[in-house]
Amino acid sequence: MKLNQISAGDAVTQSVVKAILENASVLQHAQFYSIVGSASYDRKTASATGGQFRSLDSDYPLNSVSPVFTNPALRILGDQVQVDQAHERRGTDVNSVRALELLNFAKNLGKQFQNYLFNGDSMTSSEQFDGLKVLVPSGQTLVASSNGLAVVTGSDNTARTAQQKFLELLDVLIEQTEGADLLVMDGKTLARLTTIASSQVTVSMNEFGKPVKHYNGVAITSAGYDKNGTRVIPHTETCGTSSATTSVYAMKFGAGTDYSIATNSGIEVKDLGVVGPFFTHKVEIDACPVLLNDKSVARLTGLIIS
C-alpha cells in the first residue's frame, strides 16, 4: 500500500500526506505494510536452491532450508506544530495560520523521513531506524572504481569511456535487484545522467502532475535535501584515495515483500487543541524500513561528479 492508502482518509491527514509525498520523491514509490504493536517478526524471501540433476535410482541431495526472519522495530518520527493563541487575540485568522504551518511542517517532515531512509543508523541513535547505508548487503554494493570514477561531460575518448562505464554500472545495478522499480541519486548525478544518456531518459507525469524521469524504463529521482538543506546523498563519500565521491541506489519495493516499510497506522495527525499558550497539532508516524529480500536493494559507490 502507498502512504496515502495506509494513512487515515480524513481531509486534514490526506493534505499532510500529500505535502509529505510532494517533498519526498522516494516515498511516492515506496510500499508500506501494516503490523500490530511496536515490532514484527517477518520471514525473509525463501532461499531454497532450485533444480539439480540426480542419478538413476537415487534421490536428490538434501536441499534443506533454514528460515531467516527479520525483526522490524517501529520508530516514532514526528513533532508538534504550535501556533501562539496571541495571534487570534491580535485579529489574525488563526485557522488559516495553523493550516499553513501544518503544511509547512509536513513538507520538512517528508524531507527528513527521506533522509533517514538513506542515512538512518540505529547504532548512532536507538531512536532511529536503519537506512539504506546500513541495510544494503555488502554483496549488493558495487564500486565504480577503486579511487573513484570521474564521470565527465565531453566527447573525447576519456570522457566517452567513463560515461559508458557509468551506464553499464547502472544496468548492472538494476539487474542486481532483479528489476529495480527506482534509481535514486543526488540531483547533480541525475543531471549528469540526463546529459550523457539523453536518448535513454524519458519523462512521464506522476499523480501530482510532476515530471518523473526514467532510465531504460526504470524511474529515477533525486534524493534531494534534508530539512536543513543538506544533500541526502552527498558528494563527500570516501572511495580509496578520493573523498569526493557519491552513490546511486537501486530498490525494488513490495508491500510486505522485497524492500518495504512497516507501520501500524501510517501518518497520524491529531489536533490537540490548546496546550499551554499554543494551538497544537501533533503529527507522527510509527515506521521502520524492512529488507525482506537481500536482492531488492543495491548501491553503486565511487562516482565523481564535478
Q: What is the pLDDT of residues 145-195, one digit of tens each?
A: 999 999 999 999 999 999 999 999 999 999 999 889 999 999 999 999 999
What average pLDDT does range 19-25 have in this prediction?
96
pLDDT at 3: 97
pLDDT at 249: 98
196 found inside a domain: yes
> Is 284 found in the same domain as 239?
no
Q: Which three cell numbers stand for residue 75?
A: 520508530
pLDDT at 287: 96
Per cent of the chain over pLDDT 90 is: 83
239 found inside a domain: yes
Whether the pLDDT of residue 275 is over 70: the answer is yes
> Is 146 found in the same domain as 29?
no
> Is 216 found in the same domain as 168?
yes
> Is 184 found in the same domain as 83?
no
198 found inside a domain: yes
Model pTM? 0.91
User: Helix, strand or coil for residue 103?
Assistant: helix
Q: What is the pLDDT of residues 213-231, one digit of tens each?
A: 999 999 999 999 999 999 9
> Is 187 found in the same domain as 97?
no
> Is 221 found in the same domain as 152?
yes
pLDDT at 68: 77
CB-based contacts of 23, cutoff 8 Å, min separation 6: 106, 107, 108, 110, 111, 114, 224
Q: What is the pLDDT of residues 69-99, one digit of tens each?
A: 787 899 999 999 999 999 898 899 999 999 9
pLDDT at 47: 63
pLDDT at 48: 64
Beta bridge partners of 271: 281
> Is 109 found in the same domain as 168?
no
> Is 77 found in the same domain as 200?
no
Q: How many structural domains does the chain have?
A: 2
Which comes out higher in pLDDT, residue 294 or 44? 294
CATH number of the domain within which 143 lies: 3.30.1930
Q: Does the CA dihedral 122-128-129-134 come out positive or negative?
A: negative
d(CA 288, CA 113): 11
> Is 103 found in the same domain as 179?
no
What average pLDDT does range 237-261 have in this prediction?
97
> Is 15 found in the same domain as 121?
yes
The pLDDT-based confidence of 273 (bands split at 50, 70, 90) is very high
Neighbour-count burial of 239, counting CB atoms closer than 10 A to its CB (0-12 exposed, 13-18 middle, 19+ buried): buried
Instruction: Give the range of the structural domain holding residue 118, as residue numbers without chain letter.
Output: 3-44+69-131+266-292
Whether the pLDDT of residue 41 is over 80: the answer is no
Q: Could you count the other beta carbons within 10 Å of the beta carbon of residue 115?
A: 22
Mean pLDDT taken over the chain: 93
The pLDDT-based confidence of 46 (bands split at 50, 70, 90) is low
d(CA 7, CA 188): 33
